[in-house]
Amino acid sequence: DIQMTQSPSSLSASVGDRVTITCRASQSISGYLNWYQQKPGKAPKLLIYAASSLQSGVPSRFSGGGSGTDFTLTISSLQPEDFATYYCQQSYSTPWTFGQGTKVEIK
Amino acid sequence: QLQLQESGPGLVKPSETLSLTCTVSGGSISSSNYYWGWIRQPPGMGLEWIGSIYYSGSTYYNPSLKSRVTISVDTSKNQFSLKLISVTAADTAVYYCARRGSTIFGVVVRYWFDPWGQGTLVTVSS
């Protein structure tokens, strides 16, 4: 199985801050990487697919990058509604696997 | 707008079978470009993919659960279902159903899960 490792596990930030979350795969997964946002008590929501493609309806302050084993999710200017947990997921090979999550909290 | 909704018992006894159904509305489960899947999340923990099914009945499962899992589809009801046998407390989780979609980039196909159902908590306890 491909192991996905996110860093940091949690972070505190203020509204307006630029935030970057990192996801590392245990082997090269090319651009087969998705990002999801999950708010408490809610289902995950797709933000970014294929490493850098913005899902329809997702604000442009979210962006994704990377290829191979190292990927990033960046929020250019953190908004109150962005406080949530973010997960990466590889779709290179089954079993599809997720990172452990990064919780973004209010400073 | 496509919506998915999980249903089934919220409490299952140890060693028994967990059974859940996902009802798809706002679209057909028989759409050719999509698989349909189950993903679970133990309380306070991360996400684990369980398995996926095509409308034809073709399935693929997470090897870690394969011996205990069966996913089936009923196209007449626009539903797909999950059965997990011999459950233990470790199977306590929120269970989500989701659509597995794909996007073609030249000769490469990339996959993603969207949308998801709201999730249903299943507790394994006597």
CB contact under 8 A, A49 and B62: no
Q: Which of B19, B32, B36, B17 is nearest to B79 (CA)?
A: B36
pLDDT of residue A23: 98
Measured between alpha carbons, how far is A98 from A91 in angstroms, rounded to an integer?
9
In this prediction, the residues of chain B whose per-residue pLDDT falls under 50 are none
Interchain contact, B47 vs A46, CB within 8 Å: no
Does residue B3 belong to the interface with chain A, where contact is any CB pair within 8 Å? no
What confidence tens digit (pLDDT) does each residue in B61-71 have? 999 999 999 99
State the average pLDDT over residues A68-91. 97
| Residues B124 and B91 sit within 8 Å (Cβ to Cβ) | yes
CB within 8 Å: B62 and A95: yes
